[in-house]
Structure 1
Amino acid sequence: MNISYWWSREFLTSRGFLWLLFIFNLLGTIYGYYWYGHQIDYTVAHNPLWQVIFVPDSPTASLFFTLSLCFLLWSEALKKLGAIRVLIESLAVVTSVKYGVWAVSIIFAGAYQGNMIGWQEWMLVASHTAMAVEALLYVRFYKFGAGILLGAGLWTLLNDMVDYTYGVFPWLPVQLMDDLTSVRNFTVALTLLSVLAGWLALRQRDRSMLP
């Protein structure tokens, strides 16, 4: 079997593999919201309620990707939700790439400054790397275009602004708290790079569709 089969349309859109991805991403999303439980409770107690939606960044990205799989699994049943589909797909790509790379980078940056890496951190490294990779792999099966991708980028930049203006960014290793300005700048830059990565993947998708 040719190794390229493992990222071919035939394999990636097979119902068995789509169901496997759906289940793993759904479970990861549920666990992610549980992981953020203490920070959500803290935000509810100390901040205006509207800021809570900006707290669980990674599980919300995972939720977008999980929902995007629904449109591949039940494309006929959900075909009337075309506008919602392109919105969810564009958010899935930008946020999954952004927070996938962000979480891995923060874990290793904290480790570089002395934070211990245990099994949970390695689990997060693996799962967040998978988030970024799977989102880019599935761009070619999505329906959204460059305009809605830009909108997803603007929403993610708004998330960044709220996070670092009101202090609802994901809790960092204590070693990185004195580098908060650098973390903020890296976060914003990563949003822009994630939009660029999504756009390049779109260009590749559109080229492959040419006769």
Structure 2
Amino acid sequence: MSISLLWSKALLTDRRVLWLLLICNALGTVYGYIWYGLQLEYTLEIKPTWMIIFVPDSPTASLFFTVALAFILYPPKQKAWIVIRKLFEALAVVTSVKYGIWAVVMIFWGVALGDPLYWQDWMLTASHLTMAVESLLFVRFFVFGWKYLLIALAWTLLNDYMDYSQHIYPWLSPLLVDRLDQVRNFTVMLTFASALAGALALRQARKIRLFD
């Protein structure tokens, strides 16, 4: 069996595979929001309620991708829902790549500075890298265009601004908090890099569709 089968259209668009991925991502999303539970409670105590949407970064990215998978399974026909589909797909790509890579870098950056490495860190590394990879694999089956990619970039930059201007970024190791300016700069650069990765994947996807 060729390894290319793992990212083939036949496999990735098989409804059984789509349902499996949707369920796994939905469960991961729920777990992610639970993971952020204490920070969500803390933010609600000291910040305006509306800021809460900017706190749980990775689970929200996972939520975007879960909804995007649902739209592949049940493509909408109405124009308004098609617009919503495109928006969720673009957000899924940019945020999943961004926060998938960001979490892994933060874990091992902390380790390099002296933080211990626990088994949960390996679990988080695997799950977050999967977020980044699967979102790029599915770009060829998404229907969003460049306009929606720019909207997703704008939203993610707004999230960065809120995180570091209002100090609602994901809780970090004290060793990384001491380098918060560096973390912030890396985060913003990663946002642009993630949008670029999405753009390159979209360009490649359009070429592939010509031969599908």
Percent identity over paired residues: 58
Structure 1, unaligned stretches of length 5 or more?
none
Q: Could you tell me which amino acid in structure 2 is paired with residue 79 of structure 1? A: K
Structure 2, unaligned stretches of length 5 or more?
none
Deviation at 1:73, TM superposition (A): 1.2
* Cα contact 2:140–2:209 (8 A) shared by 1: no
Q: Could you tell me which amino acid in structure 1 is paired with residue 35 of structure 2? A: W
Counting only pairs closer than 5 Å after superposition, residues 13-92 of structure 1 correspond to structure 2 as: 13-75=13-75, 78-80=76-78, 81-92=81-92
User: Following the alignment from structure 1 to structure 2, what is the Cα–Cα distance between the partners of residues 67 and 118?
Assistant: 31
- What TM-score comes out, normalization by structure 1 length? 0.97
Structure 1's consecutive aligned runs of 4 or more residues displaced over 3 angstroms after TM superposition are: none
User: Following the alignment from structure 2 to structure 1, what is the Cα–Cα distance between the partners of residues 141 and 113?
Assistant: 40
Residues 80-112 of structure 1: per-residue CA shift (max 9 Å, x gap): 210000000000000000000000000000011
- What TM-score comes out, normalization by structure 2 length? 0.97
User: Following the alignment from structure 1 to structure 2, what is the Cα–Cα distance between the partners of residues 66 and 208?
Assistant: 23
Is 1:110 aligned to residue 86 of structure 2?
no
Aligned to 1:79, the other structure's residue is in SS state coil
Q: Could you tell me which amino acid in structure 2 is paired with residue 58 of structure 1? A: S
User: Following the alignment from structure 1 to structure 2, what is the Cα–Cα distance between the partners of residues 103 and 171?
Assistant: 11
Residues 151-186 of structure 1: per-residue CA shift (max 9 Å, x gap): 100000000000000000000011111100000000
CA RMSD of superposed structures (Å): 0.8
Aligned to 1:144, the other structure's residue is in SS state coil
Q: How many residues align?
A: 209
* Cα contact 2:64–2:92 (8 A) shared by 1: yes
Residues 6-26 of structure 1: per-residue CA shift (max 9 Å, x gap): 110000010111111011100
* Cα contact 2:64–2:88 (8 A) shared by 1: yes
Is 1:170 aligned to residue 170 of structure 2?
yes
